[in-house]
Amino acid sequence: MTNFHIMTKPSGAICNLDCVYCFYLEKEKLYSPGKSFKMPDDVLESFVRQYIQSQTSATIHFAWQGGEPTLMGIAFFQRAVELQKKYSDGRVIENALQTNGTLLDDSWGEFLAKNNFLVGVSIDGPAYLHDAYRVDKGGQPTHSRVLRGLHLLQEHGVEFNTLTVVHRKNSYHAREVYSFLKEIGSKYLQFIPVVEQISTTSDANGLHLLKPFAPQSMSVSEWSVESLQYGKFLQEVFDEWVRADVARVFVQVFDVAFESWMGMDQSLCVFARTCGSAMALEHNGDLYSCDHFVYPDNKLGNILQRPMSTLSALPQQLRFGKGKELGLPSDCVSCDVRFACNGECPKHRFLTTATGEPGLNYLCAGYKHFFHHIDPYMKYMVSELQQNRPPANVMSWANKFNPAAV
């Protein structure tokens, strides 16, 4: 049995914010209006039981996301922890909660600390960059409320990381964003590029943010990060990190790049050779191929009707996962940084190559820029590790032999 990962959305697409770039809010249209978007107890118990039973590892990781999962209230997660203990059979259970942070209070802090939740807080940098797109239902800024929630987590000793969406505006302020994240105490950083195609007419389900090569006429949204600029953003952060913060601040994309240069399988799905082992569970038990492919034709079934272990192994899902590698255009197959990128996420593969082949990733230029830039540093770190020396030695090497950031 192959382990898989589930991103669980107990409140579905419902959120107390109205972030301009959010790709998930409109998923509400896939479900009947007026129906509850809160995961009922029978779905929760079935999910917890099936997920634990389907995993072969000694430690089982639960990931709760949204929408905004804290809308479910503390009682829901108390029940989830209770069920995890009931079905764990002695195995270690770990929980991760991704939140916008605005609804956190002392009760949440106490619960999250007591139950050792890892909390991801979404924040896009200083106020003027964060509030450019992350607003509430009234269009009001949220930055101060997010910081209040983050400080509350710190006061209660809750382990946290930050998730920063890299968009059209903050992508031009990489060093400022990175410095800000360190200033607020984040030592574990995720940078997620926002890339959305928006159609002028909706599909049959009322959705406007559509999959690659959908029949509707589409254009890249004004908030999407530009390809080369995303690569420059990562490069600028890397140039700061590699000279001062290696082994002190952990940046997910840099860690995964190091895996690639080590010849290891990538731990992050977007850079892995194939995909399909990271699915999304909606509030009513519907299981989808991926968090970025919550569309009717990517629905695998409902876990109350068929076990998730069966759904995850359906030919439909296996084709979805293998399609990532099989769908690469020849430009990608022959690319010198394919080993690090593997064509990145299929959601972003909506360009055609110069010779007209479909499937080229929108972020291709950015990734080429970034991976070529970090190559000598990664090779040095790999060499140090192979000689039983700390890869963090790259900092002194970078400062001595490469004093000027490009």
Classified as helix, coil or strand, 393 is helix
**In this structure, are strands 197-199 and 218-220 parallel, antiparallel, or unpaired?**
antiparallel
Active site residue 41: no
DSSP labels, 247-310: TTSEEHHHHHHHHHHTTPPPSSGGGSSS--SEEEE-TTSEEES-TT--SGGGEEEETTTS-HHH
Q: Which of 320, 271, 263, 275 is nearest to 295 (CA)?
A: 320
The tokens for 193 are 């590029």
Classified as helix, coil or strand, 122 is strand
368 forms beta bridges with: none
Q: How far is CA 73 from CA 11, 36, 77, 154, in A?
A: 10, 15, 7, 20
Overall size of the chain counted in residues: 406
- Residue 72: phi and psi, rounded to 5, are -70, -20
Residue with tokens 């959908």: 214
> Which contacts qualify for 351-354: CB closer than 8 Å, 24 or more apart?
353/329
The tokens for 398 are 């970078």
Q: How far is CA 401 from CA 85, 106, 370, in A?
A: 53, 49, 20
Contact 269, 341 (CB under 8 A): no
Q: Which residue out of 124, 239, 286, 291 is catalytically annotated?
A: 291
Tally of CB atoms within 10 A around 89: 7
The tokens for 378 are 């990664």
CA 202 – CA 208 distance, rounded (Å): 5
CA 200 – CA 40 distance, rounded (Å): 36
Active-site residue list: 291
